[in-house]
Structure 1
Amino acid sequence: MKVKLILFALVFVLTSCNKNEVYDEFNRDFTDNRWESKDVKSFEFENKQSEGVCELKLHFGHISGFQFKEVPLEVEITSPDGKVETLPVVMKLIDESGNDIGDCSGDICDVFQTIKTFDTLEKGKYKISIKSKFDGPYLPNALGVGILVERKK
């Protein structure tokens, strides 16, 4: 029985890894599910080797039945050479039929949206900052925000 359990655990670990993933982090630090307008979420990672084509995806978690179809954001990318690129992003959450776009489980939805494709992801340290541009003191029903960097298949 122990051997079967160990084999199952090993298979689960090996199949759950995304070999195309360069970096993945999700920040759930929102008090009362509110993303305060002055709260900038920052992510830093070091790319250990130069990669081919990679996609930078924004990950946004929210409560199902979100009251807005989209959320305005601003993403700032600082590359290893110090160059800063600022991208206005409109994160689409609800389709034209009024359905959640994301992967929803119960009352929690996760939406991934590609915001930049790197022809080559250079070796070095990157910093990515995400700011809500929602018109108000806070964005309600936000559960978290993160980034995912993947090698393009």
Structure 2
Amino acid sequence: MKSNIVFVLFAVVFIITSCDSKRTYDEYISLPNSSWSKENTVEFSFPVKDSINKKNLFINLRNNKDYQYSNLFLITEMDFPDGQVIVDTLEYDMADVNGKFLGKGFSDIKENKLFYKENITFPTTGEYTFKVRQAMRKNGNTKGIEELEGITHVGFRIEKIE
């Protein structure tokens, strides 16, 4: 009886994990109180063992109904094992022209899979670090928004291209 239960559990885990064959890295960090402080840089460290095959990189965000904006500005930093650093300022649409949130989900939580880099090859193997912080401002105001409400999770995902 116990061996049957173990087999069934193993089979379920195998089926769930094999359904996402593109994933090479996928991690989420929960933000306290569903709010993203402008001082909170979210950081992901990951090993790269493949410097030959191309990958797609994504920033994943979960937002709820408390998010008040139709777009999102982010500043990202990719730290390479050799010390090289690439910094980007990015803008993403979070809602359509009618104010309806983009992303997937049936409840108040929407999940957004945002392209960060497409069709790239990591130049060397080793430990990389990806950092992201919000850079939102109100129109006409140079001071950034201290607490960006409505962002519940920030994630980073790497997919192999098949």
Residue 161 of structure 2 corresponds to residue 152 of structure 1: yes
Q: Which runs of 5+ in 1 are unaligned?
A: none
Check whether the contact 1:41–1:129 (CA below 8 A) recurs between aligned residues. yes
1:152 deviates by: 1.4
Check whether the contact 1:72–1:91 (CA below 8 A) recurs between aligned residues. yes
- What is the TM-score with the length of structure 2 in the denominator? 0.82
Query: Could you tell which deviates more after superposition, 60-69 or 76-85?
Result: 60-69
1:81 deviates by: 2.1
1:103 deviates by: 1.1
- From 123, 127, 130, give the equivalent of 1:128: 130
Check whether the contact 1:64–1:104 (CA below 8 A) recurs between aligned residues. no
1:70 deviates by: 1.0
1:16-72: CA deviation from partner (whole Å, max 9, x where unpaired) = 2222212111000x2221111111111101112334110110001110473211110
More strand by share: 1
Residue 112 of structure 2 corresponds to residue 103 of structure 1: no
Check whether the contact 1:51–1:123 (CA below 8 A) recurs between aligned residues. no
1:139 deviates by: 0.5
Check whether the contact 1:22–1:47 (CA below 8 A) recurs between aligned residues. no
Q: How many residues end up aligned between the 2 structures? A: 152
1:69-123: CA deviation from partner (whole Å, max 9, x where unpaired) = 1110011011222211111111221123432221113211110111112532232
Tell me the amino acid that sits aligned with residue 53 of structure 2: G
Distance 2:101 2:2 in 1: 42
> Which secondary structure does the structure 1 equivalent of 2:74 belong to?
strand
Larger Rg: 2
> Which secondary structure does the structure 1 equivalent of 2:51 belong to?
coil
- What is the TM-score with the length of structure 1 in the denominator? 0.87
Identity score, percent: 21
